[in-house]
Structure 1
Amino acid sequence: MRVYVPLTLPGLAEAYRTGVLGTGSFVAYAVTPELRQWCGSEDLEELEYAALGQAALASLRLLAADRSATPRRVVVAADVPDRAVRTGPDADAELSELGEVMVAAEVPLAKAAAVH
């Protein structure tokens, strides 16, 4: 499954330093059933663009929380095994944003498909 991980420039630098996007569980964005319903589309490219947009908004929230970070949004797209992604009612109760998922796997930065 393609996931979109919201970061800041310091977060990207940390991922570069450690070689991983996240360890344990971390929030990302993906094409979920709720996102499909909201978009009213089955066009995968359009749906992935919507998930990317949600991750970009989350990056803005990260920037608001870290005023010392350079004000640049960062989103890393990566492919992870479906079994590593939790969505919907079986995911953490904290998931509230459209397309938000929990990734429960270490994601090597070298596996990133793109950095936006």
Structure 2
Amino acid sequence: MRVFVPATMRMLQTLIDEGEFSPVSRTAFAVTPALREAYSAGDDDELADVALREAARASLRLIGSEPGSDDVDVEDSEVSDATPMSRRVVITADIDPVTLRPDLDDAVVRLPEPLSLTQVASVHVDLAGAESAVDAAVAAVDAADLGDPDAEFVLGDIEDHELAWYAPQEIPFLLELL
């Protein structure tokens, strides 16, 4: 099954350095039967885009919870201070089997084990122009989830930024250039 794993730049660096990483609670997003039912008019590409966007929103939460997101010193981090933290990261992988989690959301799945670099199909990362919108969205994501219309507007701004696509072999170069 094609899954979309929310991540951060640090997690992406861990994936490259160690060849695997364990996503938070091994949570990912996918085109599940529940998602198909919720979007009965959508084709496979549109449904995959929904799952990707859900993973991108989850990436905002991960960015906000990382060391360094609240002015914490990040010198001990695997990713240098020069690496932008304010970029959403979604790792696309092919994994079977996964556990469906409709109790959490229509697109949520749980991975059976840590994500291996060999399973990665592609990576999606924000470009530099999205960083200020990512910062604003990180600050607003919880309020948006609670129904704040102003916070939803802020999240709409970040969703206007498309994630750039990278092949697995490009990831080390991407990290090096950032």
Band the TM-score falls in, shorter-chain normalisation:
0.7 to 0.9
**Map of 1:62 onto structure 2:** 62
TM-score, normalised by the number of residues in structure 1? 0.82
1:100 paired to 2:108:
yes
- Note if contact 2:93-2:119 (Cα within 8 Å) is conserved in structure 1: yes
Distance 1:98 1:53 in 2: 13
Paired residue secondary structure (2:20): coil
Kindly provide the CA deviation profile for residues 65-86 of structure 1, in whole angstroms up to 9, marking residues without a partner as x. Answer: 12515111000000012xx200
Kindly provide the CA deviation profile for residues 12-56 of structure 1, in whole angstroms up to 9, marking residues without a partner as x. Answer: 101111101438x60000011221122223511111111001000
Alignment of 1:40-51 (within 5 A): 40-51=40-51
**Map of 1:92 onto structure 2:** none
Distance 1:12 1:60 in 2: 14
One-letter code aligned to 1:10: R
Number of matched residues?
108
1:110 paired to 2:125:
no
**Map of 2:36 onto structure 1:** 36
Distance 2:92 2:119 in 1: 9
**Map of 1:9 onto structure 2:** 9
Paired residue secondary structure (2:16): helix
Q: Which stretch of the first structure deviates more once superposed, 35-44 or 53-62?
A: 35-44
> What stretches of structure 1 move > 3 A for 4+ residues in a row?
none
Paired residue secondary structure (1:104): coil
One-letter code aligned to 1:13: Q
Q: Percent identity?
A: 38
The higher-RCO structure (CA 8 Å, 6+ apart) is: 1
TM-score, normalised by the number of residues in structure 2? 0.55
Kindly provide the CA deviation profile for residues 61-104 of structure 1, in whole angstroms up to 9, marking residues without a partner as x. Answer: 111112515111000000012xx200146xxxxx5233111011
